[in-house]
Structure 1
């Protein structure tokens, strides 16, 4: 059976899944990707470079634009696959794939439908997530499931660590599912939306530390948005401070109040937070030891 493909891809998941499709000899006719944003830390592999290496035509304009819609229609693909593509693909585009349009999502659906699912899973203290290949419909991350793979979230994992696990799981899913899709034997499991949840995108302001929360909750936020993401922040003496590394410990103290300088312990709504690495606005990242050595923090309060 035919397997003519148009692929929308970005980020490491897009890069790695494309490599797996190429390893399997998939007939990729066109790739849609994105221009890298000048305001974003680019720590991931380039789909555009991969397309160039393999001589595959690519575009960085949206697949939804009328001229691109016409180009896809002319190609008449059997499948349209989306791997971490950042634009919602319109139903008129999805309908052009005669054998199906599918998306690889970075969670174990139906949990964590929507944006930045890995970060949300870590911030919410989940112990597992995954990667899911599903058919695309008008509603985001809501179509029938073809295959999925779970990964564990360890308490010491940052979102970056989990993202790498999810990327590996995504490749595992594609390696299993692609031959089944081509053969027409792939599963189509209905998505039970009531068993899951939907998350929106995150804004920088969402990284603000609320010291009235428990030490564990604050720790989960910090590890959920630490490098290469923008980081969780608080304020001290009118200056913004990003907390890059921390650890929850037992104890009690007034929320936001420094109770110890060595180690640097701050009170929370439940327990204490040991700050291990932080960055004052306009300065370089520093260890808590170096930070404390330059300041008197007795009774200081983070806000």
Structure 2
């Protein structure tokens, strides 16, 4: 007796999906599934945090426009697991959902549970990969679609896409480069997942890396660092993130944008203001080279150019720490 092979298009329309999604990546990947005609039977997402700068499109609003039930539980307990099981999902997806799903939840989908992660696994498993890649001066970023297992970001890889990191990139611009790559992976590989024919290759976790959640205090600048390290930190945590900071005249100073003045050499003691630029920047000596800071903000005050806020004259600080 011949085994019936289900065509990918037919499989897509018959494979119920339960989504755990948030953020712009979640929105774009959900859009991709809807465009394929995938039946999304529920969305699990998060309530927006009023203390967080919300710049992304709402997964919840997208779901409601398509009459998809929306749920925002703080945790997936036994009762929620029973409700998910009753939805009879064939596939589970996690798109930038902020909670780790238990192994018991992952087993509810016979065709598997899959995550879209913002790095080229096994590198940068864990939290905030875009920020960490910039902090560490990486030259390439990417996204990975992988099967979920109990351990975070450790399951078999389905597919990956890569993109160069440029000096002009910030965490926000790099994130915007990754979003269409993630959506393209869903468009290409969801039909294969739904028909049980997706490729898989195991990860070698010993060849990778893991990074935890970043905290606002991790943005502290040490002017003894080389200029490029300082520059990388600034662009990794600038708007809409909490920002890199130092102190000038005893006041907390956020540095929102900067460029490298000189990569090497030592013009003065680290943290010394050595020059100004015509476009409103202030050049500061680093442990190696110099950094030109351009947009800054004293805590609790308005943002402005560095030259404007670190004004010349008697009140100008000679150094920042």
Q: Which of 171, 175, 187 is residue 159 of structure 1 equivalent to?
A: 171
2:4 — aligned with what? none
1:66-113, CA deviations, whole angstroms, 9 ceiling, x for partnerless residues?
Answer: 221111011121110000000010111011111100000001111110
Q: Which runs of 4+ in 1 moved over 6 A?
A: none
1:265 — aligned with what? 283
Q: Secondary structure at the residue paired with 1:134?
A: strand
1:106 — aligned with what? 118
Q: Secondary structure at the residue paired with 2:310?
A: helix
1:247 — aligned with what? 259
Report the Cα offset of residue 63 of structure 1: 5.4
1:182 — aligned with what? 194
Distance 1:82 1:63 in 2: 14
1:218 — aligned with what? 230
1:5 — aligned with what? 17
Distance 1:25 1:107 in 2: 27
Aligned residues of 1:258 and 1:298 also touching (Cα < 8 A): no
Q: Which of 301, 311, 314 is residue 283 of structure 1 equivalent to?
A: 301
RMSD: 1.4
Aligned residues of 2:273 and 2:285 also touching (Cα < 8 A): yes
1:233-286, CA deviations, whole angstroms, 9 ceiling, x for partnerless residues?
Answer: 001111100000111122522111111244411111110011111001121100
Q: Which of 35, 40, 53 is residue 65 of structure 2 equivalent to?
A: 53
Q: Which of 172, 180, 185 is residue 184 of structure 2 equivalent to?
A: 172
Report the Cα offset of residue 26 of structure 1: 0.3
Aligned residues of 1:63 and 1:69 also touching (Cα < 8 A): no
Distance 1:173 1:294 in 2: 52
Unaligned 5+ segments in structure 2 are: 1-10
Distance 1:296 1:113 in 2: 49
Instruction: Decide which structure has the larger Cα Rg and report it.
Output: 2
Q: TM-score, normalised by structure 1?
A: 0.97
Identify the range of structure 1 (76-85 vs 182-191) with the bigger mean alpha-carbon deviation.
Answer: 182-191
Report the Cα offset of residue 293 of structure 1: 3.2
Aligned residues of 1:261 and 1:292 also touching (Cα < 8 A): no
Report the Cα offset of residue 210 of structure 1: 1.0
Q: TM-score, normalised by structure 2?
A: 0.91
1:204 aligns with 2:216: yes
1:75 aligns with 2:75: no
Question: Aligned in 2, Cα 1:265/1:23: closer, same or farther, shift over 3 Å?
Answer: same
1:130-150, CA deviations, whole angstroms, 9 ceiling, x for partnerless residues?
Answer: 011000011100000011100
Unaligned 5+ segments in structure 1 are: none
1:206-246, CA deviations, whole angstroms, 9 ceiling, x for partnerless residues?
Answer: 00001111110000000000011111000111110000011
Q: Secondary structure at the residue paired with 1:293?
A: coil
